[in-house]
Structure 1
C-alpha cells in the first residue's frame, strides 16, 4: 500500500478558496478532487482513492498500490496542483474582452486601420473562435474577412491571413495549423503567450510577419526546477524534437470556456500524451461538459469515484496534524504526510484487531471508551485488552500518528 501527497498543506487557504471559488476549505477540497476524478487519466488509477483533510492544514492525497507509471503521473499531478493553486490566472469573459481590446489596439498601431481592412482573419479551434468573435467587433471586420478554419487552407496566397487563438503555450497547435495554410504572409495573434515564444515563432517561420500577443505569460520552469533547470532544459529539447517552438513552462491559466490541455511525456509510448486538468468543473464550460460525459461513462460501467473527506473524532485521542488515513480492502492505510509533496512518505497497513482498535479509538476518543466498545465485539480478558490497547496507542503517539489534545 502506498500514498502520494497531492496538496501538501503549505498553500495559503485564501489562495485555495480563490482558485476553487468556494466559501470554505472542505468545499474547495471536494471541488478540487472532483476535478481530478473527471480526468480520463484517473480511469488508469484503478483501486486508487483520494483522501482530503480540511483542518488543521489542507491536504489531499492518493492511496493505492501504484505502478511506476501511476506514481509518475501522480507526482506530476502533485506538482501541477500546487503550482496551479498558487499561481493560476483565471480569465473570465470580461478579462478576455479587455485583453482582446488590447490586442486590437496593438494591431491598429502596427498595421493601421486601412491595411487591417484588407486582411483575412481565421482562428484555431475552439478557444480561438471566441477571441476572433470579440476581435471582429473591435476591428469592425466585414463577414467576408472572416474565414472559417476549414476554408483557411484555400486563402489567396497574396492575402495576409491573421490567425487568432486564446493562448499559445508551446506553439504546437499553431505549428500544426500553419502546415495546412498556403498564405504567404501570416500574422499570429494569441491572446496570452510568453514573449519568448512569440519571438521564437517569428525566427522559425519565414511566413510569419509578426506574432503579437495581448498579455505576457511568465516562464516558471526555472523556479520549478531550480538547480536542475539546465539539466531539464537539455532533456526537454531532446524530447520535444521538432514539436513546438519554445522550451519553457508557462504559468497556469484557465479561461471561462476551457482549461488549456497539459501534456506529459509517456516514456513507454515515447510520445507526448494528454495530461491532467485540475480546474473544478463548475468553473469552466469545457470541463463541465467533459465531466458530465465521464460521469455518464462511469455510471454505465458501474464504477464511481469520490473524494473521501477525513474528519476528526471527539478526542482527546485524535489523528495527528499531518496524518491521513483511509479504509482499503477491509484494512486501514495510514500515512504521516511529509512537509512537501515532492518528498516521499511511508504508508503502513492496519489489519484485523489493529484495524478495529484504530476505528474504536478514533470513534470514541479515549482509551476507556474504546476498550468498552471493543469488549462488545471480542471475547477477551479485559486486562489483556487494556494492556494491548494502551501499547497500541502509545506506539502510535510515539510515532506521531496519534496525538492527545
Structure 2
C-alpha cells in the first residue's frame, strides 16, 4: 500500500442532513447526494480534473469526496469547492418561478410608488440577457406594458430623449450592468435587478450620473464580513485590487439561484492574475441552465470515453459517480472511509473527523483490490476466501493467510472495523 492518489473530502454531512435535503429538494439522502454529485460533475472545472472520480456515501453520514492525481492548483480548486458547499448548503436562496413572480410584483409596486403609472407607460424597457428577459416578461404583464415599449435600445444617440428601464434577475457586483452602460449611450437609465445587495444599488447610483435610480425587489446580504472575520479588512484591500474597477461593489452577495439559471461564480487565478469561472453547485434538476450544462458535459464525457481504448481506466473514470454501500458486515469499512477504482487498482481514503487533520489515502494493487472488495461484499474472512477462490487458482490456506494479513493491517489502520 503506497500513498499516491489524492483524496479530497468535499462534503461532510454529519450535522446538515436536513439542510442537504432542503438544498437539493430531494426526499432522501441517497437522492440528495446523487443530485449534488450530478451538479458537481456538470461543471467544466470538474472535467479538467482528468481521470478524477467522484465518490458519494449516504450512510451512516453523508460524505462526498474526489479521488485523483491532482496538482497543487487542482487541490486548491477542490478546497474552494468544499468551502462553497459547506457555506451554500445551509445558507441558500432558491427562487422558483412562483417566488420570482412574487418578487416581480414587489418590484412593480416599487416602480409605481417611485415614478407613477403614467410615467411608467412612457418609459422603454430592456433586459440584460438572459435571466433579465424572464423577469422583464413577468414585469411587462404586471405593469401592462405595450409591446412597442419592450426591446433593445437603438443605435448610439438614437434614443437620447428616452428613459430606459433595464431589468435583470440579480446583480452581485454590477459588472454586467457596467458593461451594458458601456455598450449603450443612454442618458437616463433606471436599473432594476430583482435581487441585489442594497449597498450595490447605492454604489451604482453614486457612480453613474446616467442612472436615475437603482431599484430592487429584495436585498441580498453581504456574507464577506462573517466569512473572513478578523481578516476581512485585509481581504477587502486585496479584493479591491483584484476587481480593479470591474463592477461597483466589492462585497460577496449571499448565494442565490433561480429555476432558470445559477449565477456564475468566480475564483482568483493566482498564476493568471485574473478572475476565472468558478464552481456551480445547484443540482441540474432545479435549474434549466444547469440541465443544459449537464447534458453538454455528459455528451463530451461520453465522446471522450469512446475515443479511448475499451476498458481504459481513464475512460471508465469519466463515466460514473461511485455510490458506496455499507456492506453486510460484521466486517465493514469504517464510517469515514471511501474508495475509488482506477483500472485494476483501488484507492482507499480514511477521512479524519477534524478537517485540520491529514487524510490517509492508500493505493491497492489489483490483487489487494480484489481482496478488499471480497471482504466488503461478504463481511467475513471465511466467506471472502471462498469468493476469491472462484477467481484465483491458489492454495486455500495461502490465500487465507494473505487475506488475514491484509485484514489485520486494515483493522490496525482503522480502515476496517468489526461490528
Fold shared, TM-score > 0.5 on shorter chain: yes
Most deviating of 273-282 and 86-95: 273-282
2:217 corresponds to: 214
Structure 2 counterpart SS, 1:16: helix
Q: Pick closer, same or farther for the CA change 1:152–1:14 going to 2, 3 Å.
A: farther
Q: Deviations over 1:321-350 (max 9, x none)?
A: 111111223222111223466765231212
Q: Pick closer, same or farther for the CA change 1:155–1:7 going to 2, 3 Å.
A: farther
Instruction: Choose the corresponding residue for 2:249, options 223, 228, 246.
Output: 246
CA contact (8 A) 1:8 1:340 kept: no
Q: How many residues align?
A: 403
Matched, 1:234 2:237: yes
Instruction: Choose the corresponding residue for 1:379, options 379, 382, 394.
Output: 394
1:122 corresponds to: 126
CA contact (8 A) 2:302 2:319 kept: no
Structure 2 counterpart SS, 1:157: coil
Matched, 1:199 2:199: no
CA contact (8 A) 1:79 1:341 kept: no
2:55 corresponds to: 51
Cα shift at 1:310? 0.8
Could you list the structure 1 runs, at least 4 aligned residues long, displaced by more than 6 angstroms after superposition.
none
Residues 23-34 of structure 1 mapped to structure 2, 5 A cutoff: 23-34=27-38
Instruction: Choose the corresponding residue for 2:382, options 364, 368, 373.
Output: 368
Instruction: Choose the corresponding residue for 2:409, options 392, 395, 405.
Output: 395
Q: Deviations over 1:349-392 (max 9, x none)?
A: 1225433332222122112222344455253472x655554443
Q: Pick closer, same or farther for the CA change 1:155–1:163 going to 2, 3 Å.
A: farther
CA contact (8 A) 1:33 1:307 kept: yes
Structure 1 counterpart SS, 2:169: strand
2:259 corresponds to: 256
Q: Pick closer, same or farther for the CA change 1:91–1:313 going to 2, 3 Å.
A: same
Q: Deviations over 1:149-186 (max 9, x none)?
A: x6375552232211110000111111111111212221
* Distance in 2 separating the partners of 1:284 and 1:71: 27
Structure 1 segments unaligned to the other structure (5+ residues): none
Most deviating of 331-340 and 245-254: 331-340
Instruction: Choose the corresponding residue for 1:147, options 151, 154, 163.
Output: 151
* Distance in 2 separating the partners of 1:236 and 1:249: 10
**So what's the TM-score if we normalise by structure 1?**
0.93
**So what's the TM-score if we normalise by structure 2?**
0.90
CA contact (8 A) 1:48 1:65 kept: yes
* Distance in 2 separating the partners of 1:117 and 1:152: 22
Matched, 1:176 2:162: no
* Distance in 2 separating the partners of 1:110 and 1:69: 49
CA contact (8 A) 1:326 1:334 kept: yes
Matched, 1:100 2:104: yes
Q: Deviations over 1:242-278 (max 9, x none)?
A: 1111112122111111111111122232222222222
* Distance in 1 separating the partners of 2:201 and 2:352: 40
* Distance in 1 separating the partners of 2:109 and 2:191: 15
CA contact (8 A) 1:8 1:341 kept: no
CA contact (8 A) 1:78 1:341 kept: no
Matched, 1:331 2:345: yes
Structure 1 counterpart SS, 2:281: coil
Most deviating of 257-266 and 169-178: 257-266
CA contact (8 A) 2:55 2:338 kept: yes
Cα shift at 1:214? 0.5
Cα shift at 1:94? 0.9
* Distance in 2 separating the partners of 1:356 and 1:294: 32
Cα shift at 1:396? 2.4
Cα shift at 1:66? 0.1
Most deviating of 100-109 and 136-145: 136-145
* Distance in 1 separating the partners of 2:52 and 2:268: 22
Cα shift at 1:103? 0.7
CA contact (8 A) 1:265 1:272 kept: yes
2:165 corresponds to: 162
Structure 2 counterpart SS, 1:273: strand
* Distance in 2 separating the partners of 1:261 and 1:137: 28
1:297 corresponds to: 300
Instruction: Choose the corresponding residue for 1:71, options 75, 84, 88.
Output: 75
Cα shift at 1:290? 2.2
